[in-house]
Amino acid sequence: MSLGKFNLKCKGLPTCLLTTAFLFCFGLLALYKYTLIDPDAVLLQVDQYDYDDYGIDVSALRTSTSSEGDEMTSQVEKWDEKVREDGGLRISYITDHCDEPTNVYGVAYLSKSELGGLKVVVLVNYTAETQIDKGTAEAVIHAMFGKALVLNQTLELCSVDEEMLSCPVEKGFRSFRREVTLPRFAPKGRYHGIVHLRYTSSKEEKLCGKGRMIL
């Protein structure tokens, strides 16, 4: 019996049937677990799922008022506009705190990659109160796939992503942008993630991102 590039010599009908059934079931399992990502289908999921039911509650920050009492464009709306301009799907806001945010410093979203798949884009505008040196800050990363914990780790901040963050980070305003292309084939399901950036000694939280991605 020949299956593509695999040549199987079967001794008797029962053995051939069993082998064929095994390969068929294995193929179905592989198709179920790993699927070719359709960027258009993923980006249209905003109409199927509420991405905010897991993320940070920024409802109180969606409207801003000037000293004269006039409504102004809020921080949230400005970040939402950047996502819309790129035809993206927001997966997370980046704020000063996860539980009771008072400022929105950035956003993470999915958009089409130039290579034809999907990419994750992270945008952050942040003003550092003091210079951040190696060993003075850390990132606490918690990631899940469905109900399975896949990552629970605390890393030294300067070693997390040297392309995006080069230490020392000088005091003052910085604008960060990072793009990561996703694999064309990936397990189907829901991915959840929380990232806390904080000072190492005091554990004071300075940035938090919390969101989900559904493939």
pLDDT in tens, the chain (215 residues): 433 443 444 455 555 555 555 555 544 455 556 677 888 888 887 667 777 788 999 988 887 654 454 555 788 999 999 999 999 999 999 999 999 999 999 999 999 998 888 999 999 999 988 999 989 999 999 999 888 898 999 999 888 877 677 788 889 998 999 999 988 888 888 899 999 999 999 999 999 999 988 88
Closest CA to 120 of 48, 30, 191: 191
Residues 6+ apart with CB under 8 A from 115: 181
pLDDT at 2: 39
Q: CB of 124 within 8 A of CB of 99?
A: no
* Tokens 């980070």 found at: 169
Compute the residue count for the chain: 215
Instruction: Please work out, in degrees rounded to the nearest 5, the angle formed at the alpha carbon of residue 126 by the alpha carbons of 49 and 141.
Output: 55
pLDDT at 47: 67
Half-sphere exposure of 5 (CA within 13 A, CB side): 0
Closest CA to 51 of 108, 136, 114, 133: 108
Structure tokens at 170: 């000088």
* Tokens 């963050």 found at: 165
SS3 for 200?
A: coil
pLDDT at 66: 46
Q: How far apart are CA 84 and CA 120, in angstroms?
A: 14
**E strand segments, 73-184:** 89-95, 104-112, 118-128, 137-145, 148-156, 172-181
Q: How far apart are CA 24 and CA 2, in angstroms?
A: 14
pLDDT at 53: 81
Q: CB of 95 within 8 A of CB of 105?
A: yes
pLDDT at 72: 53
Closest CA to 210 of 60, 64, 125, 106: 106
Structure tokens at 125: 């505008």
